[in-house]
Each structure stands twice: as C-alpha cells, then as structure tokens.
A = this chain, B = another copy of it.
Amino acid sequence: MLPGVGVFGTGSTARVLVPLLKAEGFEVHALWGRSEEEARCLAKELGIPFHTSRSDDVLLHQDVDLVCIYIPPSMTRQIAVKALGIGKNVLCEKAATAVDSFKMVTAARYYPQLLSIMGNTLRFLPAFVAMRQMLVERYVGEMQVCDVRVYGPSLLDQSYGWTCEELMGGGGLHTVGSAIIDLLSFLTGARANRVHGLLRTFVQQNGLIRGIRRVTSDDFCFFQMLMGGAGSSSGGVCCTVTLNFNMPGSFVHEVMVVGSTGRLVARGTELYGQRNGSKGEELLLGDSGWAGPEVKEMPLPHLQGLSSMVKSLRQSFQAHAERRSWAREPVAMAPTFEDGLYVQTVVEAVKRSSCSGEWECVEIMSQEPDPNHNLCEALQRNKN
C-alpha cells in the first residue's frame, strides 16, 4: 500500500514532483511553504488538501508517511532529522554543509528501518542505469577518464536569495556539481581521494541583483577528481568536470567515460558508445520520448530521472501491505544519506582547493566536530 506524502517546498522541483507522485498513485496530503501565501497558492494549483507554513503541521500530519524535502539547502537538515525522529520516511535534497550532512547520516543510522534517500535523480535516468551496467560489463575495458560538461543558463532565482549565496548552498558546484559528483561515484564504483578545482563568479550583478548586493555563488566551476580504489595500474580514474552557467539559450549535459577498449557517452538522455576499432558511434539507448511536463528550470535528464525515481519509490512501497513499510531492492541504487555526506565533503574540498590552489584530500567526517571546540581551546589557554 502506498504511503501518504507530505511535501516541503514550493519551488520548481516540488511543482514537478507532486504530479509525478500522483501519477504513480501516491496521495499528497500536505504541503509546506515558507509563507502561508506561497503554500496556499501552490496547494490550490496542485490540488493538495492541506497547506501550512509550520513544519510540524506536516511532520505530525497523521496521513503523512513519506516526507519529500525540496527546500533551500540550509533548512534541509533540520526538517530531515526531525522527520526521521517522528518516524517518517524521508526523501530529500542536499544539505548546505558537511556538518549538516553528517547529522543527517547519524539520524538515518539511528532509524535504519525508515527510508532515507537523497533526491539525486541522475542515478535513475535510464541512460545512466544502462551506462553503469555496460561499465560493469567492461564495454570500455579499464576505465581511464570521465569527462563531464554541463553548460546552461544562469541558476540564479529571479530575486535575491539563497541561490546567490555561496554559504547558503547556492552556485553551480553545489547545485549541479553535487549531482555529477554523486553520478560519477555511481558510474565508476569509486570515490574521489583527491580533488582540485577552480570556481568563479563571472556575473556578480545583474538587472535584478544590484546596488550593495553581489552574487557570491559560482557560475563557472571546473574540477578534477582522482578516484581511488578501482585498482587501476595508472592509479585510478581521472574525472574532469566543467560547469558553466553563463550560457543562456543552451543546455549541454554530456558525461563521457573513456577506457582502454572503448568509450561511452551520455548526451542529454541518450547513450552512445564506441569500441576501439569500430568505425563510428552506436546509439545504445535513444530518448524514450518525454511525455511529461517541460520545466524551464529543470533540464530533461533531471526531470526524467525524477520521474524514474518516483516509479522506483512506488515499487518499493507497493511491495508491502503496511503504509510505512518499503522494500529495499527497488530503491537499492538510490543515493543514501552517506552518499550525501560524501558528495558534500567533495564539494567542500573543491571549494577549499579553489582557495588554496592545491589538491585537497577528501576526508569523510567520522564524528561530529565539537561545537565548543574553540571555546574549550580558549578556556584551556586561559588556564595556562
């Protein structure tokens, strides 16, 4: 039996997600918005019976068994951790910091019977599912290089907000780079050991953001990851990622994996391959034809991935008679909160590298930093 759903957020993803959930048979019972007005408008538009601007009203709603959190990164941790504590299943977007991600991991570990997955939908896109399968089957032989390019128009909201602020989780690296970092670990089966990056904010002001306000989040980002553990003789796969969001009117989403005997490349939602020695590229998976809504802010790979993920969620829940129970297998490839922590750790390492100019190690947090650490040190100093 499918669980009742509560949705946090009134942005473009929430707007797309609700119809997808309904199409799969989920009932969406409650919607939370930052203001009563925003919540009321979207609830009316999407036909959701209950709306609120108080988070507890959704979390404690008796018909809500699955909470979907699509809100600004800085608010995500609080809602996600609380939802798990109340005993609700959670699907959520990334948090703003590694510390927040770590707290979410701790909560997820504490409630292993609850579903807790990150909303990175690229893993579910059929092209990437097929790509991973072919990599496992050694279509490219020994993996050498992954090369990713995402070009598109500005990610900034119409008005000044978190998307403009690096510290609030805005910027190409955090927003889009996160999804790519997660995808690359999914495809290669390895994690980054060391990263190097360069971030730039080329457009610091525009027609809407001006005066004393400046954009601090990156609109150009370029990073390299040296993946560990794959046991390759040349020391693992090199990943290079170029993100450029100063390209209005274009959308390029290309993920290429080059290996010793061939290569695979996903362009948008299609997968192509070429083995060394063959004359040309072969189309391995064509576009299935997207019948759903077109969303300006949401590129097709993310949109179709989201749709596939909702289908998997349905399969996961409908396997059980109890509303809150779910089967692991259909969502086994979904990113966990641990994956979320890894991604966030890489994002922060790339940012550090952009400041230091050096390669930075990716060290996953294993215990929460003591918030009183500085205080303790100060006390210690005073004593001596």
A222 and B246 contacting across the interface, CB-CB below 8 Å: no
**Residue interface bits A245-268, CB-to-B below 8 A is 1, else 0:** 011111000000010100100000
Contacts of A222 in B (CB 8 A): 224, 238, 240
Could you tell me the distance between the alpha carbons of A354 and B265 in the complex, rounded to whole angstroms?
Answer: 26
**Residue interface bits A345-361, CB-to-B below 8 A is 1, else 0:** 00000000000011100
B280 and A244 contacting across the interface, CB-CB below 8 Å: no
Count of chain copies: 2
Could you tell me the distance between the alpha carbons of A373 and B193 in the complex, rounded to whole angstroms?
Answer: 40
Q: Please tell me which one of the listed residues B234, B248, B277 contacts residue A201 in the complex, with CB atoms under 8 A apart.
A: B234
- Distance from A32 Cβ to chain B, minimum over Cβ atoms (Å): 36
Asked if A367 is at the interface of the complex by the 8 Å CB criterion, the answer is: no
Closest to A276 in B: B248
Contacts of A144 in B (CB 8 A): 200, 202, 220, 246
Could you tell me the distance between the alpha carbons of A276 and B154 in the complex, rounded to whole angstroms?
Answer: 11
Asked if A296 is at the interface of the complex by the 8 Å CB criterion, the answer is: no
B238 and A200 contacting across the interface, CB-CB below 8 Å: yes
Asked if A134 is at the interface of the complex by the 8 Å CB criterion, the answer is: no
A200 and B278 contacting across the interface, CB-CB below 8 Å: no
Q: Please tell me which one of the listed residues B145, B196, B234, B249 contacts residue A196 in the complex, with CB atoms under 8 A apart.
A: B196
Contacts of A200 in B (CB 8 A): 144-145, 234, 238
B238 and A240 contacting across the interface, CB-CB below 8 Å: no
Could you tell me the distance between the alpha carbons of A224 and B197 in the complex, rounded to whole angstroms?
Answer: 10
**Residue interface bits A169-210, CB-to-B below 8 A is 1, else 0:** 000000000000000000000000000101011111000000
Asked if A279 is at the interface of the complex by the 8 Å CB criterion, the answer is: yes
Asked if A242 is at the interface of the complex by the 8 Å CB criterion, the answer is: yes
Closest to A219 in B: B144
B260 and A203 contacting across the interface, CB-CB below 8 Å: yes
B280 and A249 contacting across the interface, CB-CB below 8 Å: yes
Q: Please tell me which one of the listed residues B240, B246, B277, B358 contacts residue A249 in the complex, with CB atoms under 8 A apart.
A: B277
**Interface members, chain A 208-244 (any B CB < 8 Å):** 220, 222, 224, 233-234, 238, 240, 242, 244
* Chain A residues near B (Cβ < 8 Å): 144-145, 147, 149, 196, 198, 200-204, 220, 222, 224, 233-234, 238, 240, 242, 244, 246-250, 258, 260, 263, 274, 276-280, 357-359
**Could you show 23 A-B contacts with beta carbons less than 8 Å apart?**
A144-B246, A145-B200, A145-B202, A145-B220, A145-B244, A145-B246, A147-B244, A196-B196, A198-B224, A200-B234, A200-B238, A202-B234, A202-B260, A204-B233, A220-B238, A222-B224, A240-B242, A246-B258, A246-B260, A248-B277, A249-B276, A249-B277, A357-B359
**Apart from A249-B280, A250-B274, what are 13 other A-B pairs with CB-CB below 8 Å?**
A145-B220, A196-B196, A198-B224, A198-B238, A200-B238, A201-B234, A204-B234, A222-B224, A222-B240, A247-B258, A248-B276, A249-B279, A357-B359
